[in-house]
Structure 1
C-alpha cells in the first residue's frame, strides 16, 4: 500500500512538472525569452563588477554585459554566425539527408518489420536502452537516429511510442559517457586530465582506457535500470496510447525483402570499403601515430554515416522501384528536409540563447564559483566525492558540453583530490557520471528540441514540460544508480581501468 502511495505521489509530482512546463510558451518563444533573460542578467551582474579567475589561467575574467556597446555589436554581428555555425544544425540536417532518404523510400520501415519487431518483446526495452548507450560511437548523430526509431518500434508492438522515444533518448543522452568500447569521449576527457596533472609534481596521469572497466559495467547496469524505469514508471504513467500516428507496419512483400537484401549487401560493401581505408598503410582516416582515438575517422563520423544511409537508401529504393532516376533521390531528400522546417526555426532562437550565455561568461562563472565553494568545505572522505558528483550534475545543467565543463572543473578538483591522495582517473569517472546524467533534462542540450519535435509526431500537444517530466525519472535514476556503482567499485576494490584504483 505504501509503495502505491509513493508511486502515486511521484506520478503527481511528474504531472505537476508537466503541467507547469507545458504552460511555458512555445519553445521558439521560450528560447527568445531565455535569450532576453541572459541579456538582462548580464547587465545586472556587470553592475557589481563581478570577476573570476579561470583555473589554469592567470588573468581575471569579467561577466560581459550584453547591454553595452560591445554587447550590442556582438549580438548584431554574430546573429547569423550563431545560427549557421550552430554545430547541431549541420549534424542534424546532414544526417537527415541520409536517414530521410532511407525513410522516404521505405527502407527503415522494412528493416524494423524484419528485425526488431521479430525480437522477443521482453527484450525490446533492454535493446533500445543498450543501443542508445552505444550510440555515442556515432557522436551527436545518435540523438537523431535512436529516439525516433525506438518510438516506431514501441508503436508497432502495441506499446506507447513516447515510452520508446524516452527510452532511446535516455540511453543516448544520460548514458552518453558509457560504452563497451573506448571512444572519443575517453580520449578528450583523459587528455584534459593529463594536461592538468602535468602541472603538479606527481607521476600520475590519465589515459583513454583508465575508466574502461567502470564504463563497461555501466552499460549493463544502466540498460537494466533504464528498462526498469521505462516499464514500471514511464509506461505506467503514460497508459495506453490512443492516438493514430499512422506508423503501423504491414507485412513485408517479396520485393521489399529483396530490397532489404540488396540494401544489406550495399551496406557490407560500404563498410568493407571503410574498413579497407582504415587499415591500409598510412590510412588517411587514422591519426599521425596510426591510431583511431582521436582520428579523422571519428571526426568525420557524421558524413560517413550520412553516406552510409544514402548508399543503402538508394540500393533499396532502386530495387523496389521508388527511385527511378537521380531526380528521385533529390526529391526524397527534399521531402525529408521539409519535415525539418520547424526544427530549423527553433534552432535560430536556441542558437542565440546558447551563444549569449557563453559570450557573457555566466556559465563559466557559475561553474568556477560552485567548484570553489565545494573546495572550501574541506571534507577529505568519500562524502566530498559524492558532493562533487552532485555539484557537477547541477553545473552541467548550465554547461552542456562535457569537455568544456571538465576543462573548468579539472584544474580545481583534480589538484584538490590529488593532494588528498585520490587517483585522477577515479575523480574523472565521478565527473563523467554526473555530467552525463543530466543531458536529457537540461535546456542547454540543443538536441532536446529535436526530441520534442519527434514527440509531437505522436502527441501534438506535447511541450517542454511533457518531455522534462518524461525524462526526469531516467535522469535521477541513472545518477543514483551510477553513484551506487561508483561506491561499489570503491568498497569492493574493483579497478576503474587497467591498474587504476581509488587512491594513488
Structure 2
C-alpha cells in the first residue's frame, strides 16, 4: 500500500501531486478560452505593429498580421460573434448526434447493454469484456465512468478475483480508451468539426469527416482490449494479491423486461443495418456515388444523420419494450433532458469558437504555421518522429487539461496548419492527438471522475488513497500510450488508410 505522506511518495506520485497543484490553478475551460481570446487580441495588436507579413499557403499571396484592436478588428469582433458560435461546425454535429445517443442513454439502453456484456461474459473472458465494454462506453460519454468501473468490480468480486483489479480495468477501458470505438460517436463528430474549422484556414477544400479515423479506431478497440486484459491479469492483479475484504456486494440483476428490450433493439438494429446496406450496395443505390463506390458518397457525407436515426430507432424500441416510453411525447422529453446535459459543452463552444475565429482572422495562425513548418524543415524533422513528438507533447498537456475538446481547440489551430504545410493530412494529425489524449486520462489529477473512482475503491479497501489509485492506473496509461503509438507507427509504415480514403499525406 502506498501511503499518502510526502516521505513515502515515489517520484511519479510527487510529479502527479505537482501536476494536480498546477492544474488546479488553471481556470475553467470556458474562462481559459476567454482569457486566450483577450490574449489573442493583444498579441495581434503587438505583432501587427512589427509589420510582419507571410505568404498564405492556400492563397499564395502575401498577407499581413491584422490587429483586432482597430476599427476593422472591433467591427469583426462585434459582427462575427454570433456567427462564430452558430457556424462553428462541431456544435451542430455533436448536438445532432446526442439527440439519438442521449435518448438511448435516458431510456437505459446503453447502461443495460454494458451491464449485460460484462455479466454474461464467460469467466475466462470477463477481463476482455470489461475493457471492451469500457472502451465502447464512450457512446454514453461521461456516463460510462459511473457505470462500468463499479459493475466490473462487483463481477470480479463474484468470481473470487480482486474487485479493485476489476475497477481498474473498467476505469482503464473507459478513460484510457475514451476515443476508440467501432461505432461513429460524438467524439468523432466533435473533433472532426474542430479540425475542419481550422483546416479550412489553410485550404478551403480540406475537410475532416467523422469517419476519417474510423478504420484505425475500430482496430484500436481490439488492440486495447487485448493489451488492457494483459495489464490487468499480468501486472495489476499480481500487484494487488488476494482480496481478503468483505464480500457483501450484490449486483442488481438484469430484469426479463430489460433482456427483452435488448433483444428487440438488436432486431431493430439488424433491420436498420440491412436497409442501409441495401440503399448503399445495390446497383444504382442512392447512398453510393455515381460509380457505385463509397469514397466519396452520400453514405459518408450523411453518416451523422444515419447514426442519429440508428440510435433513435434502437432507443425507441428498447424504451417502448421496457415501459420507459409510454407516449410519443416521452421521446422529445428524453431528448430534451439529454440536451440539458450538453449545456456545459455549449458554453465552452461559444468561447472556443471566438478564440479560433480571432486566431484565423488576425492571420497569426498562418504566421505561426508557416514559421513552425519552416523551422521543422530547417532541422530536417519532417517525418514520423515529429508526429511521435506531437503525441508525447499532447500526453503531457493532457495531465493539465482534462477536457479533450478544449485541449484540441487549443492545439488544432497551431498544429493542423503547421503539419498541413508539411503535407500531413489534418485527419492524420487528429488521430495522433486522440491517441495521446485518451491514454493519460486515467492518471490526470484533474479528471473529475478520479475522486469518484477512489470512492468506489474505498468500498473495498478503506486505507486506499490517491497514491493507491494512481499506482494501479499508471501501467495502463503508459503501456496504452506506448503500444498505441507503436501501432500508429506500424499502421503508417504499412501505408494503411486510417479511414475511408484517408492517408497520412494530403
Give the TM-score, by structure 1 length.
0.66
Deviation of the 1:311 alpha carbon: 0.8
In structure 2, the partner of 1:123 is 128
1:78-157 equivalences under 5 Å are 78-119=80-121, 120-124=125-129, 126-127=131-132, 131=136, 145=140, 148-149=143-144, 151-157=146-152
Indicate how the Cα distance of structure 1 residues 223 and 36 shifts in structure 2: closer, same or farther if over 3 A, else same: farther
Q: Alpha-carbon deviations, 1:213-249, whole Å to 9, x = none?
A: 999987765655667789979xx9xxxxxxxxxxx97
Q: Does the 8 A contact of 1:152 with 1:161 survive in 2?
A: no
In structure 1, the partner of 2:177 is 171
The reply to whether residue 312 of structure 1 matches residue 317 of structure 2 is no
Deviation of the 1:78 alpha carbon: 1.3
Q: Secondary structure at the match of 1:52?
A: strand
1:454-469 equivalences under 5 Å are none
Q: Secondary structure at the match of 2:63?
A: strand
Match of 2:277 among 275, 278, 295: 275
Partners of 1:124 and 1:497 in 2: CA distance:
28
In structure 1, the partner of 2:419 is 409
Q: How many residues align?
A: 419
Give the TM-score, by structure 2 length.
0.65
Structure 2 runs not aligned, ≥5 long: 1-6, 154-163, 204-212, 240-249, 398-406, 456-471, 498-503
Partners of 2:221 and 2:261 in 1: CA distance:
34
Q: Does the 8 A contact of 2:265 with 2:314 survive in 1?
A: yes
Match of 2:359 among 354, 357, 360: 357
The reply to whether residue 34 of structure 1 matches residue 36 of structure 2 is yes
1:55-454 equivalences under 5 Å are 55=57, 57-119=59-121, 120-124=125-129, 126-127=131-132, 131=136, 145=140, 148-149=143-144, 151-158=146-153, 164=170, 167-168=173-174, 170-173=176-179, 250-378=252-380, 385-387=384-386, 389-390=388-389, 408-412=418-422, 434-439=432-437
Q: Does the 8 A contact of 1:393 with 1:435 survive in 2?
A: no
Partners of 2:88 and 2:276 in 1: CA distance:
28
Deviation of the 1:435 alpha carbon: 4.6
Structure 1 runs not aligned, ≥5 long: 133-142, 197-210, 237-247, 415-426, 443-447, 461-469
In structure 2, the partner of 1:199 is none
Indicate how the Cα distance of structure 1 residues 432 and 161 shifts in structure 2: closer, same or farther if over 3 A, else same: same
Deviation of the 1:59 alpha carbon: 0.9
Partners of 2:258 and 2:219 in 1: CA distance:
39
Indicate how the Cα distance of structure 1 residues 214 and 312 shifts in structure 2: closer, same or farther if over 3 A, else same: closer
Deviation of the 1:344 alpha carbon: 2.1
Q: Alpha-carbon deviations, 1:448-492, whole Å to 9, x = none?
A: 9xx9788898799xxxxxxxxx999988766654665677789xx
In structure 1, the partner of 2:467 is none
Deviation of the 1:350 alpha carbon: 2.2
Let me know the Cα RMSD of the aligned residues: 5.1
Indicate how the Cα distance of structure 1 residues 71 and 437 shifts in structure 2: closer, same or farther if over 3 A, else same: farther
Q: Secondary structure at the match of 2:324?
A: coil
Q: Secondary structure at the match of 2:34?
A: helix
Partners of 1:430 and 1:93 in 2: CA distance:
24
Deviation of the 1:394 alpha carbon: 5.8
Partners of 2:221 and 2:32 in 1: CA distance:
35
